[in-house]
Amino acid sequence: MNVAVNPAALTTPALERMARVADEVAARYAADVDATGRFPEETFAALKRERLLGCWIPKEYGGEGLSLTEICGLVARLGQACGSSAMIYGMHQIKMSSLIQHSVGSPWHLDYMREAARDQLLLGSATTEGGIGGDLRNSICAVEVVGDRYRLTKQATCISYGRAADAILATCRRNPDAASSDQVMVVCRKGDYTLRETVDWDTMGMRGTRSEGFELVSEGDARQVFVQPFSEIAAQSMLAMAHIIWTATWYGIAADTVVKAQAFVKAEAKKKPGTVPPGALRLAEVSASLQQMKSLLVAGIARYEEALADESLMNTLSFIAELNTIKVSASQLGIAIAQQSLMILGLAGYRNAGPWTIARNYRDLLSAAIMINNDRILGNTSNLLLISKIDVSVA
């Protein structure tokens, strides 16, 4: 898995392609996606054309082998145009990271990775389940393997963009007799499963993610079950990637509010040459907050890369606590930045339409604190801090 920092990430061809998709497609349809609560199909058709769904996959399997820094740059750039599109793209890349990192030793998954790169497949996720209270490290449903076939039925309370996905990576107990924490993950390919909607999706924000609840029934080749237990997948890729890539998503959405606030202050300054607009000081303040959020993202990427180079660090309590803290802090900062920008923009930003509106940004950012609820994460972190030292170093 290629995660090395690329100093030229800001000028990569991939980012240029993403800028085209963001500016020419995602921004054009973002308001309608939000208003009607529909999947951003035009944006994802464009992402497929630009071959940006499989760009993280290593070159030897048909991708471009982008770095984690570059992937976060793509997510953030899309977030400046459409929060729902960026969240879908980010969640897809989170699942892609698990496929890339945990296909070793499984010819089926390596072949599927080639297929994902060739056909630009969109990967979804089914980790939440009714009856477990949002705890993705426990499952009620179990996979049953008979001969060379598997079968599972999962009451998933949330499968984002489930109807649009080309595959859904679902977690379940290893077998019907396994403990709830003894989990595996299965690549459920479109055509292998049926979805029966159980919970509608009509929400305040992130409306285009179409995160309905479904009963997922899937049957397929037993080789589609990952070799590694889900505990390893979660610890080594999924949870860290979720915290980092979600932060990139929220950063992009928050950055858009600051860009609009700056343009608004500049426009006010032109109206009264020689005077400092009242929002100028607030603009300096919100710019500092945005830089703080970027620093959290950069630190998270660097810390994860360090852990990949030293596996002993990956499972330390301090590493887990640090990534937890980045997620919580970024989710809180995003809302604070939107609030600061709103104070600059005033009623123009509060409106649901117009060149200065940040209403959609604000509503989308409100989801950040409840995507793996901050209270759950803080509770977990508090337990970790009771048995580990706080890192006070500067390295």
Per-residue pLDDT tens digits for 148-198: 999 999 999 999 999 999 999 999 999 999 999 999 999 999 999 999 999
Using the predicted structure, report yes or no on whether residue 390 has a pLDDT greater than 80. Answer: no
Q: How far is CA 213 from CA 35, 66, 197, in A?
A: 20, 32, 6
Q: By the 8 A CB rule, do 205 and 367 touch? A: yes
Residues 230-386, CATH architecture = Up-down Bundle (1.20)
Mean pLDDT of 252-262: 98
Q: Which CATH class is domain 9-121?
A: mainly alpha
pLDDT digits (tens, 9 = 90+) for 273-317: 888 888 999 999 999 999 999 999 999 999 999 988 887 788 788
pLDDT of residue 395: 67
Quick check: do 9-121 and 230-386 share a fold? no
Q: Could you read off the pLDDT of 85-99 as tens digits, one per residue?
A: 999 999 999 999 999
> Which contacts qualify for 307-310: CB closer than 8 Å, 24 or more apart?
307/240, 308/1, 308/3
DSSP 152: E
Residue type, 135: D
pLDDT at position 9? 40
- For residue 45, pLDDT over 50 is answered with yes
Taking the C-alpha atoms of residue 143 and residue 133, their distance in angstroms, rounded to an integer, is 20
SS3 label, residue 394: coil
Question: What's the distance, CA 171 to chain centroid?
Answer: 18
Helix (H, G, I), strand (E, B) or coil at 175: coil
pLDDT score of 2: 42
- CATH number for 124-224 (one of 3.40.720.10, 2.40.110.10, 3.30.1120.80, 1.10.357.10): it is 2.40.110.10
In the chain, where are the structural domains located? 9-121, 124-224, 230-386
Q: How far apart are CA 240 and CA 238, in angstroms?
A: 6
Q: How far apart are CA 209 and CA 206, in angstroms?
A: 6
